[in-house]
């Protein structure tokens, strides 16, 4: 959610930002907010004037009573009573106007960073840099589900019976590899100064609407029937929500957190949910990183965070590249986003394994998270999040890039302590 001062002082900038995101249908919201805001400020001023008049008049009543002018005092009391009714009506009007303004402000997209390329969708994202050589071996690489099944590590048929499409059973060394990757990611982040957290896996609706846009919420979140609770789609939701309606001390910034959680997603409109394998699924686990920092530090943190993910994948001998997400591919709360994609030798192309996002102060405004500063006044921090690793999707890249011709899978040195010292599985 943007600062309403932007609409008051530079409405055209807000409209141009909407055009850059190819959401012209939202341009009218800017004028609507401006009109409602003007009406709200008038109502606030009138209420303040009435309160001041009531205070002055109430003092006059006391003077009249003291002077024995009871009749005049009674007439003045009636005026005060009438003012009370008008003030009550103004209070209701202010609440209604504020609610209408907020409803529209929640839909107006955040102002994107100057570094964001202009484009309609993910086909216009821009490659920034490659790390590692994308190799295609001399032998054929089977589908990842086949690799897992040959290692007695995947059971999709049973999962379809118990849960439906988009679910899976992992077994044996593949299940152990899955857990090893997450444990390694946890320690990888702790070694970089992040505090490890395990958050709640369910959050209330006011937290959901504070951390994401309505369209994302409908397409992603599973609602718990009969309760004001949603299953999280990523631990970022819980981790940012932890600070709701709170003041942070400047001395406690930045907050650098890394969190583990299962993640649950409806994947509404997703293609390939029936496809064999574990690429697009309803349930997975993830190691995430979250930073809450001063606004002037968020750009530097953005660069530091995506580089951590690149470093993580390179320690596992997986080539990756980074893509700058274009304006049309950015969720409405995001200022900037960069995807990390891993190399698939089988498909001879890269695919997404993580995303780093700077949300500016959009989430902190929605959730009421502020930094305390007595000298300059309280202000809103910036929030950022980034995927460290999200198996089992990440296992696709791991298995394909570490597969040997005989069907065994090499375990990179960094992961061996988490696999009981094994150098390969097969």
Position 241 confidence tier, pLDDT thresholds 50, 70, 90: very high
Q: Choose the CATH number for 122-425 among 3.30.365.10, 3.30.930.10, 3.90.280.10, 3.60.10.10.
A: 3.30.930.10
**Higher pLDDT among residues 88 and 306, named by residue:** 306
Residue 53 has pLDDT above 90, yes or no: no
Q: Summarize the confidence of residues 229-258 as an average pLDDT.
A: 96
Indicate whether 88 pLDDT > 90: no
Which residues share a beta bridge with 33? none
pTM, entire model: 0.90
Q: Residue 253 and residue 290: Cα distance in Å, rounded? A: 12
Q: Can you tell me the mean pLDDT for 165-182?
A: 96
- Report the CATH architecture of 4-105: Orthogonal Bundle (1.10)
pLDDT band at 87 (very low <50, low <70, confident <90, very high): confident
State the average pLDDT for the chain: 93
Give the mean pLDDT of 393-398.
Answer: 95
Give mean pLDDT, residues 120-143: 96
pLDDT at res. 269: 55
Closest alpha carbon to 383 in 234, 285, 191, 241: 241
Candidates 343, 231, 334; CA nearest to 284 is 231
pLDDT value for 271: 53
What's the rounded Cα separation, in Å, for the pair 139 and 404? Answer: 9
| In the predicted structure, residue 268 carries a pLDDT above the cut 70 | no
10's tokens: 């530079």
Decide if pLDDT at 411 tops 80: yes
Location of each CATH 3.30.930.10 domain in the chain: 122-425
Is the pLDDT confidence value at 273 over 50? no
Residue of 314 and 78 predicted with greater confidence: 314
Examine the pLDDT at 402 and tell me if it is beyond 50.
Answer: yes
Instruction: Report the candidate in 335, 166, 181, 349 with the shortest Cα–Cα distance to residue 266.
Output: 166
Kind plus residue range of the DSSP H or E element containing 228: none
Cα-based angle 200, 206, 207 (whole degrees, multiple of 5)? 35
Contact predicate 40/97, CB 8 Å = yes
- Give CATH 1.10.287.40 domain extents, the chain: 4-105
Mean pLDDT is lowest, of 72-76, 88-92, 305-309, for 72-76
Summarize the confidence of residues 190-202 as an average pLDDT.
97
Which pLDDT value is given to residue 303?
97
| Residue 213: pLDDT band with limits 50, 70, 90 | confident
CB atoms near residue 53 (< 10 Å) = 14
Strand stretches in 359-400, DSSP E? 370-372, 382-389
Q: Cα angle at 195 between 189 and 200, to 5 degrees?
A: 105
- Does position 270 have pLDDT exceeding 60, yes or no? no
**What pLDDT score does 112 carry?**
97
Mean pLDDT of all residues in 321-346: 97
């Amino acid at each position: 959610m943007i600062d309403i001062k932007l609409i008051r002082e530079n409405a055209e900038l807000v409209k141009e930002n909407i055009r850059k995101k190819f959401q012209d249908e939202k341009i009218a919201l800017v004028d609507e907010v401006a009109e409602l805001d003007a009406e709200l400020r008038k109502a606030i001023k009138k209420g303040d004037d009435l309160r001041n008049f009531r205070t002055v008049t109430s003092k006059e009543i006391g003077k009249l009573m003291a002077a024995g002018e009871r009749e005049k005092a009674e007439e003045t009391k009636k005026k005060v009573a009438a003012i009370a009714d008008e003030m009550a009506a103004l209070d209701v009007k202010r609440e209604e106007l504020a609610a209408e303004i907020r409803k529209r402000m929640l839909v107006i997209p955040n102002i994107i960073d100057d570094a964001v390329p202009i484009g309609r969708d993910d086909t216009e994202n821009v490659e920034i840099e490659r790390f590692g050589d994308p190799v295609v071996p001399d032998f054929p690489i089977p589908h990842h589900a086949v690799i897992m099944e040959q290692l007695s590590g995947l059971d999709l048929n049973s999962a379809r019976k118990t849960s439906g499409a988009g679910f899976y059973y992992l077994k044996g060394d593949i299940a152990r590899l899955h857990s090893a990757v997450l444990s390694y990611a946890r320690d990888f982040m702790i070694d970089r100064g992040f505090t490890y957290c395990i958050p709640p896996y369910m959050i209330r609706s006011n937290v959901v609407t504070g951390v994401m846009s309505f369209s994302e919420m409908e397409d992603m979140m599973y609602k718990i029937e009969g309760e004001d609770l949603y299953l999280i789609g990523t631990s970022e939701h819980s981790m940012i929500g932890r600070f709701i309606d709170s003041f942070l001390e400047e001395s406690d910034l930045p907050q650098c957190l890394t969190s583990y959680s299962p993640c649950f997603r409806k994947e509404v409109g997703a293609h390939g949910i029936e496809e064999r394998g574990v690429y697009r699924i309803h349930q997975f686990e993830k190691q995430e990183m979250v930073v809450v920092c001063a606004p002037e530090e968020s750009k530097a943190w953005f660069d530091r965070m995506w580089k951590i993910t690149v470093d993580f994948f390179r320690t596992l001998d997986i080539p990756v590249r980074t893509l700058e997400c274009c304006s049309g591919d950015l969720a409405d709360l995001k200022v900037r986003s960069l995807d990390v994609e891993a190399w698939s030798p089988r498909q001879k192309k890269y695919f997404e394994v993580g995303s780093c996002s700077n949300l500016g102060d959009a989430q902190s405004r929605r959730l009421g998270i502020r930094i305390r500063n007595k000298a300059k006044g309280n202000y809103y921090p910036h929030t950022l999040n980034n995927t460290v690793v999200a198996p089992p999707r990440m296992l696709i890249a791991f298995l394909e890039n570490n597969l040997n011709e005989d069907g065994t899978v090499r375990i990179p040195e960094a992961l061996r302590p988490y696999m009981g010292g094994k150098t390969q599985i097969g």
